[in-house]
Structure 1
């Protein structure tokens, strides 16, 4: 029943449907008209997605991005993934009506333009959005198997930069990118983590820095003397909007232009990185392989898989087992210099010599 608040000439409505509150002004001072407005509001409320739980795919992705993704360092990536999903799937379709056939068509369409890994990430983004809508907004969930729709990816190959390749790379790399690449080798951090690193994340007094990771999480990374020296020598941008970021670069062929922030995906700088690889005659190598190089070198030095896992920011040490071949190689090298039979023979000869003496 409409009511009139104190100091208001208009009637208002205020009711609940399935635990959700709907309230507002009827926009009229006539009680009979107000009852009609309230009745219309009740009909609209009963049909609303917040009550029925039937959200469209576009509403689901948009709500998830607004509530969660836009506050993360990976916001641009998430927005791009959502746009790509809606470019292929009908955003007007109710998420509850999604079928495995819809997923199959999406995968088949996207695989013509993107790698299996990229398509899988789009499916994972879709899954996070649907689960969020079901958990937080009580949306009706579709009967689909997102995991089954993913295409199995080949085991990731581990490519380590040799010392000779490393030397050649820096000989051909732009000087203002040396610190950027060295930092990747020193920390094993991902490209987006490095480009988003801010000076406020650096605490030289405690020798710790904060890394922003995939999925919106973060971790503390120790600052070694080598890393500390590199950070202390870095120039800062003169631009206020870029000065807070640790790694900036010089715009080529435009003298006098201030240093600018490196965008999360590396922007045009990855072209310079690949050009240096070509000039240095380094084949089958990507920027992400600097992370592999850090992991294999650290594991070879420490032999501690759990330690390497923590520094890489892995949530499970199982993810780090791909580097276990380093330890296997060390075991093989140890066996090359060891023989149980020879050791036993040597001990026997030693005892015989002691007896004869």
Structure 2
């Protein structure tokens, strides 16, 4: 089996059904081009994998004024993991002979995920700079903690106003049912008549023949459009060090302050609660505040006792 045959079969069986299928298609095409479309799958060894990973690491981030190499996380997501999935599927499902590859040696070490929470003031500033349509999607992100692709992929057949729930397709194409808060219910209800299928849309400001946009008509939000709108909105708001994924961190931290790790785990769709524990700082902050309040109260009581004793001595 050639790389091209394997990639084509993987796309047909798995890749096209990914929520972020455009990104999967890009990765598969990159692998085909850089491994060689006619390269036999059974000739790929640790040496070839190491070379292809090194090549991807040298790629630069497009649309940046200052040339910057892509992150280890991006290398893993766009090259190493897709290639690993293809070769394992070829061996385990398609009964195609492949070389033994030590994938742990090729997955790059990723930095620990940060937790950046927006304050209420920061959220208001960002929201004030977003255009109509994009502001609704970002507001939904702050309220639900959903990932960008979960939001873009939300369709009306997955929204149950009667049961007050909605279903998103998360990582690994796994569905997750999320209850609607009153704020989410109101937000979705206002959007229900804008598009027959897709929940989050925008109004085209001008005619764009290439995309088939007509001025004044509504169209589904795109990943590129939402990324651009968020980046501009944050920059114009004056808020620093804030990205779209931080809306998820913000929602998780806020829900944790009002509940517990199990509730936050269910909201975020984490299979392992250890993944949710990175938000435990919220509970630590609450404990610290409670301890400070307790200490202050005890100091106040002690001062009252000393004052009373002093007055008694005087009499």
- Whether TM-score is above 0.5 comes out as yes
Secondary structure of 2:167's match? strand
Gapped regions of structure 1 (runs ≥ 5): 1-54
RMSD value, Cα:
2.1
Structure 1 residue 270 displacement after superposition: 2.4
Q: Deviation at 1:328?
A: 1.9
Task: Give the superposition deviation at 1:106.
Answer: 1.0
Select which of 102, 105, 109 maps to 2:55. 109
CA contact (8 A) 1:74 1:216 kept: no
Write out aligned runs for 1:201-280 (5 A).
201-234=158-191, 236-237=193-194, 243-254=196-207, 256-263=215-222, 265=223, 267-280=224-237
Residue segments in structure 2 that go unaligned for 5+ positions in a row: 60-69, 208-213, 310-315
CA contact (8 A) 2:256 2:264 kept: yes
Aligned partner (choices 281, 287, 297) of residue 238 of structure 2: 281
Match of 1:23? none
Tell me what 2:91 maps to. 134
Is the 1:209–1:223 Cα contact (8 Å) retained in structure 2?
yes
Deviation at 1:235, TM superposition (A): 5.6
Partner of 2:166, secondary structure, is strand
Aligned partner of residue 219 in structure 1, secondary structure: strand
Q: Is the 8 A contact 1:189 1:312 kept in 2?
A: yes
CA distance in 2 between counterparts of 1:73 and 1:171 reads 29
In the alignment, the residues of structure 1 paired with residue 184 and residue 102 of structure 2 have an alpha-carbon distance, to the nearest angstrom, of 45
TM-score normalised to structure 1 length: 0.74
209-218 vs 254-263, greater mean Cα deviation: 254-263
Cα distance in 1 between the residues matched to 2:42 and 2:215 = 56
TM-score, structure 2 normalization? 0.84
CA deviation digits over 1:14-65, x for unaligned, max 9?
A: xxxxxxxxxxxxxxxxxxxxxxxxxxxxxxxxxxxxxxxxx22222222111
Tell me the secondary structure at the aligned position of residue 58 of structure 2. coil
Q: Is the 8 A contact 2:206 2:216 kept in 1?
A: no
- Does the CA-based 8 Å contact 1:305-1:317 persist in structure 2? yes
In the aligned structure 1, how far is the partner of 2:117 from the partner of 2:205?
Answer: 30
Aligned to 1:72: 18
Equivalence for 1:336: 292
Q: Is the 8 Å Cα contact of residues 74 and 214 (structure 1) preserved in structure 2?
A: no
Greater RCO between the two (CA within 8 Å, min separation 6)?
2
- 1:338 to partner: Cα distance: 3.9
Distance apart, 1:153 and its partner CA: 0.9
**Distance in structure 1 (CA, Å) of the matches to 2:135 and 2:116:** 20
Structure 2 counterpart of 1:305 = 261
SS at match of 1:175: coil
Rg larger for: 1
Q: Is the 8 A contact 1:188 1:295 kept in 2?
A: yes
Once the two structures are TM-superposed, the CA of residue 138 in structure 1 deviates from its matched residue by 0.9
CA distance in 1 between counterparts of 2:2 and 2:132 reads 50
- Mapped to 1, the partners of 2:278 and 2:136 lie a distance apart of 28
Offset of residue 321 of structure 1: 1.6
Which secondary structure state, in structure 2, belongs to the residue aligned with residue 210 of structure 1? strand
Which of 93, 111, 120 aligns to 1:154? It is: 111
Q: 158, 166, 177: which one pairs with 2:134?
A: 177
CA distance in structure 2 between the aligned counterparts of 1:305 and 1:334, rounded to whole angstroms = 19
Alignment partners' CA distance in 1, 2:52 and 2:13: 25
Q: Which residue of 2 aligns with 1:325?
A: 281
Partners of 2:9 and 2:143 in 1: how far apart? Answer: 39
Residues matched between the structures, number: 284
SS in 2 for 1:93: coil
In 2, Cα distance between equivalents of 1:269 and 1:312? 21
